[in-house]
A and B are shown apart, each in its own frame.
Chain A
Amino acid sequence: MSAIDGLPGDWQMVVGLEVHVELATATKLFSASANRFGDEPNTHIDPVTLGLPGALPVLNRQAVELAMRIGLALDCTIQPCTFHRKNYFYPDMPKAYQISQYDQPLNVDGHLDLPDGTRIGIERAHLEEDTGKSTHLGGAGGRIHGSEASLIDFNRAGVPLVEIVSRPDIRSAEQARQYVTELRAILVAVGASDAKMEEGSMRCDANVSVHRPGTPFGTRCEIKNVNSVRSLGRAIEYEARRQIDLIEAGERVVQQTRHWDEGDGRTHTLRSKEDADDYRYFLEPDLVPLAPSAEWIQAVGDALPMLPGARRARLAGATGVAADSEAAMVVVERGQDDYVLAVGAAGGDVARALVHVKEAYADQGATPTVPAADLAALTVLETGGQLTATQAKAVLADLVANGGGDAAAIARARGFEAMDTGALEAMVDRVIAEQADAWAKFCAGEGKAMGALVGAVMKASHGKADGKAVTALLQARRG
């Protein structure tokens, strides 16, 4: 296990993630102001957003529906739930309390399967409102402490969030990265969020502890301010090593909240458990309990699209690659798996189509411009031996550039014809004569030398030669 962890000795890390995601609703969680990122500060505000006296929250039905989509996509149970007030003072928190869900969240007891099949438990996924955004001027490191002035943008205040809390089932930084990547793919797939970490519409806190397998979990620390999947991995690895170093030096890990500093690559103490706020949670009296009907839950579930894991499995089944292969991951992430399958339906070779789409369609969206039938025709030429892999690549480039076309016609226009065997043999013999050094090395068993020889034949044939056939001829000549 430590080999996966990259941790010294027999230490194992135990990680649980709390992911906050902004829902892609038209309006805020409790008011009619627009939920939009990046506009002029304080243009999407209203009495509820600002917590003006007398203003009351009214729950946004669309937010509940998107939260239910997340819950269903994570195989959670959707249950009758309530809202609580989480009380604390902060200038960008207009009411001095956040409306959140506490002991009765909307979604509970789900799971997320990583691409390699590892199952990570989901404890809960609950609804809450976002805070405003503060900018502190003149202080060190943009913190409120020591700053000369603070600017507050309330556009974000009241934006609906779902907080997805995993169980402590993650055992490596790589798994944490996979979890967040997969979660993001699911959130985007179900249309719940654009889930952009760099814009803050997806934020991640990590609870990290270390232990030796077979012993109880260690004391955990919560890591905040992780702003990318890459930083998440770095922060977790740093924190686990910090804790191991402490323990091996005979010290104890103190439960605390720590701040990840991207600049110095370390976590720093934010506050210890003793300093933690007492949030004085109590039932939000301005809202009534929420109990989605079985019909509503059913309707939301029925409308869910196929999720990334299932799409990868489907693609893997059709093409023969592994579900967690790079090709399956990349093509599903781009939403091009339907297209690959359509190539198969059009009589093409899906395995070749998968490779071509992965390699050549990076700039294409979920609906590539090349008609599936055109790519199908190309793969048929390829598997039929009329085109070499290299030639096929060139024809594909033309198809992509032109948004489709007749693969056979393009191949003819480019002068791609299957080479005559005799001509190829002559070409190989010529190259062996010209590249005596490489040939000697090849005969002595140096693998690299083969590449040089094949390359020279390809060059001489202007790319028309079939690499496999050349390799076979070279090996035959060597005897």
Chain B
Amino acid sequence: MAGLRDTAAAVRQGSTRAADLLEANLAAIAEREAEIHAFNLVLADEARAQAASIDAAVAAGDDPGPLAGLTVALKDNLCTRGIATTCSSKILEGWRPPYDATVVTRLRQAGAIIVGKTNLDEFAMGSSTENSAFGPTRNPLDPSRVPGGSSGGSAAAVAAGFSAFSLGSDTGGSIRQPAALCGVVGVKPTYGYVSRSGLVAFASSLDQIGPFTRTVADAAVVLDVIGGHDPADSTSIPEVHPSLAVALDQGVEGLRVGRITDLPEGADPDVAERLEVAFDALRAAGATIVDVQVPAFTFGLTAYYLIAPAEASSNLARYDGVRYGLRVDAPDTNTMYGATREAGFGDEVKRRIMLGTYALSAGYYDAYYGKALKVRRLIHDDFERAYRNADVLLTPASPSVAFPFGAKGDNPLAMYLCDVYTIPTNLAGHPGMSVPFGTGADGLPVGIQVLAGTLNEPAMFRAAAALERAAGGAGGAS
């Protein structure tokens, strides 16, 4: 399959029609979506109209942009003007945003075609997409297993060929872990690389938007379009990013690849073995493997489950039934708040709101939220020290390959452990990505996580591209 750049080039030249590309995706959706349930909403009519206008523009001699005719599936926590944006929650019932997220605007301007809004764990809280109010998404590689989460719908959409690429959001691993479980590439950029304007917030200091693609090169193409400063997001990085596409061909000669010697244990043997193979592959490609320590890494999960719920308890307080979304009527305002939130939120969301409210409460703040902030600082500093000796670090993206439905559903802690390798990066604000690297148990894909320091996406992409080449191309299974 041709890469995104070549496909868009063909559309821009008129040798490939956007309408044909879209119909291939819609045919795949017609065939498997009922089983997979990647989407909360398929926008077939809108997408056909968009494709027609792209083809018309090309015919008229205009250039629709670098993503001309490429289909994209959007995680349903990205605001789309006039189109329902649910966060897979009942509480947003009936709400249609009056604006597009900045990333959606940039995709539209680049000529991409939105095929639908994808399923997620409610408000991006979860690691299996089982927490969606609209039912789970199935893993296209094995429908008896979860696709990971929270961006499970976006990962599945790319893995199933429903769209050329997709966008997700990653607060503690919600792009990288489902990418690993679905055998696609998933990138969480440096915090502030991609505008959060129009991303429905879960934990604002951790949330980042990023792409799911079939190849590392495709991810670079998408990031080059959606990245960059946005005045509508005060945390957006003002510096101009170097183009990632350029970094891809540089190889890893001389690149220092770090092995975290004090990485928390817990990866399944098949996953741990693939990590060793990954180190070997990069060494063989000319990289230097160095040992580094990130002592606070192991405290990431604990700190995260105080900081993220604390922010979420505040971010989700606005869903009160007063202005939009679900309202359960009651005789007085306070009762209405309670009834609305009781009916509108699922268990996991309620659990995190309670955790976060508690962590911020007077008398507990110092012991919980305050201490977690100190741990966060330690994690950041430990990573920074490691990056003095290494350009990138390798870890598993997920401790295991895709697991069956219900395997962790009754045990929140077991589910939280799915993100043990991804969470510290969010706390540090650094970039990370998952690249498919062969298979583990039951022939299911294993994702290797490549981590790098602030705005060092070029090094991260160099290593990821080398792993992809070593694995034999996109998906590692071809």
- Taking a contact as CB atoms under 8 Å apart, the answer to whether A54 and B199 are in contact is yes
Which one of A52, A58, A94 has the greatest number of beta carbons of chain B within 10 Å? Answer: A52
- Taking a contact as CB atoms under 8 Å apart, the answer to whether A54 and B198 are in contact is yes
Does any Cβ of B come within 8 Å of A312's Cβ?
A: no
- Taking a contact as CB atoms under 8 Å apart, the answer to whether B360 and A144 are in contact is no
Does any Cβ of B come within 8 Å of A434's Cβ?
A: no
Interface residues on B, range: 35 or more
Q: In whole angstroms, what is the CA distance A58 to B317 when docked?
A: 20
Contacts of A85 in B (CB 8 A): 314
Q: In whole angstroms, what is the CA distance A20 to B68 when docked?
A: 52
Q: In whole angstroms, what is the CA distance A145 to B97 when docked?
A: 32
Contacts of B365 in A (CB 8 A): 280
Query: Shortest beta-carbon distance, A118 to chain B, in Å?
Result: 36
Contacts of A89 in B (CB 8 A): 317, 320, 334, 337
Query: Shortest beta-carbon distance, A286 to chain B, in Å?
Result: 5
Q: Which of A47, A286, A288 contacts B99 (CB 8 A)?
A: A47
In the complex formed, the residue of B with least CB distance to A47 is: B99
Does any Cβ of A come within 8 Å of B59's Cβ?
A: no
In the complex formed, the residue of A with least CB distance to B197 is: A56
Contacts of A280 in B (CB 8 A): 313-314, 357, 360-362, 365
Does any Cβ of A come within 8 Å of B369's Cβ?
A: yes
Residues 136-158 (chain A) with a chain B CB within 8 angstroms: 144, 150, 152
Residues 177-232 (chain B) with a chain A CB within 8 angstroms: 196-201, 203-205, 231-232
Does any Cβ of A come within 8 Å of B388's Cβ?
A: no
Does any Cβ of A come within 8 Å of B20's Cβ?
A: no
Q: In whole angstroms, what is the CA distance A278 to B365 when docked?
A: 11
Total residue contacts A-B, CB cutoff 8 A: 97
Q: Which of A58, A87, A94 contacts B232 (CB 8 A)?
A: A58
- Taking a contact as CB atoms under 8 Å apart, the answer to whether A54 and B234 are in contact is no
Which one of A85, A144, A286 has the greatest number of beta carbons of chain B within 10 Å? Answer: A286
Q: In whole angstroms, what is the CA distance A286 to B311 when docked?
A: 11
Q: Would you give the 0/1 interface string for B360-371, flagging 1 where the beta carbon is closer than 8 Å to chain A?
A: 111001000100
Q: In whole angstroms, what is the CA distance A54 to B205 when docked?
A: 14
- Taking a contact as CB atoms under 8 Å apart, the answer to whether A54 and B101 are in contact is yes
- Taking a contact as CB atoms under 8 Å apart, the answer to whether A54 and B318 are in contact is no
Does any Cβ of A come within 8 Å of B291's Cβ?
A: no
- Taking a contact as CB atoms under 8 Å apart, the answer to whether B323 and A96 are in contact is no
Residues 44-75 (chain A) with a chain B CB within 8 angstroms: 47, 50-59
In the complex formed, the residue of B with least CB distance to A280 is: B360
Known: A53-B318, A282-B360, A282-B369. A144 touches B196 (CB 8 A): no
- Taking a contact as CB atoms under 8 Å apart, the answer to whether A288 and B333 are in contact is no
Q: In whole angstroms, what is the CA distance A301 to B92 when docked?
A: 48
Q: Which of A51, A94, A150, A285 contacts B205 (CB 8 A)?
A: A285
- Taking a contact as CB atoms under 8 Å apart, the answer to whether B200 and A53 are in contact is yes
Does any Cβ of B come within 8 Å of A258's Cβ?
A: no
Chain B interface SS verdict (over half): loop
Q: Which of B95, B235, B318 contacts A288 (CB 8 A)?
A: B235
Q: In whole angstroms, what is the CA distance A287 to B196 when docked?
A: 12
Q: In whole angstroms, what is the CA distance A55 to B199 when docked?
A: 8
Q: In whole angstroms, what is the CA distance A94 to B232 when docked?
A: 19
Query: Shortest beta-carbon distance, A307 to chain B, in Å?
Result: 33
- Taking a contact as CB atoms under 8 Å apart, the answer to whether A144 and B197 are in contact is no
Q: In whole angstroms, what is the CA distance A54 to B87 when docked?
A: 11
Q: In whole angstroms, what is the CA distance A281 to B235 when docked?
A: 20
- Taking a contact as CB atoms under 8 Å apart, the answer to whether A54 and B79 are in contact is yes
Q: In whole angstroms, what is the CA distance A280 to B356 when docked?
A: 10
Contacts of B314 in A (CB 8 A): 85, 87, 96-97, 280, 282
Does any Cβ of A come within 8 Å of B35's Cβ?
A: no
Residues 272-306 (chain A) with a chain B CB within 8 angstroms: 278, 280-282, 285-288
- Taking a contact as CB atoms under 8 Å apart, the answer to whether A287 and B234 are in contact is yes
Does any Cβ of B come within 8 Å of A371's Cβ?
A: no
Q: In whole angstroms, what is the CA distance A60 to B378 when docked?
A: 33
Q: In whole angstroms, what is the CA distance A58 to B232 when docked?
A: 6
Q: In whole angstroms, what is the CA distance A54 to B201 when docked?
A: 6
In the complex formed, the residue of B with least CB distance to A90 is: B333
26 interchain pairs, CB-CB under 8 A: A47-B97, A51-B318, A52-B97, A52-B324, A53-B92, A53-B200, A53-B318, A54-B78, A54-B200, A54-B201, A55-B99, A56-B197, A56-B233, A87-B313, A87-B314, A87-B317, A89-B317, A89-B320, A89-B334, A152-B322, A280-B357, A282-B360, A285-B205, A285-B235, A286-B204, A288-B235
Query: 16 other contacts beyond A53-B79, A87-B313, A280-B361, with CB at 8 A cut-off?
Result: A53-B318, A54-B79, A54-B85, A55-B99, A56-B233, A87-B317, A89-B317, A91-B322, A94-B318, A95-B318, A96-B320, A97-B317, A150-B333, A280-B362, A282-B310, A285-B235
Interface residue ranges, B against A (CB under 8 Å)? 78-79, 85, 87, 92, 95, 97-99, 101, 196-201, 203-205, 231-235, 310-311, 313-314, 317-318, 320, 322-324, 333-334, 337, 357, 360-362, 365, 369
The 10 closest A-B pairs by CB, nearest first: A96-B317, A285-B205, A280-B360, A285-B204, A53-B200, A54-B198, A54-B79, A278-B362, A51-B318, A95-B318
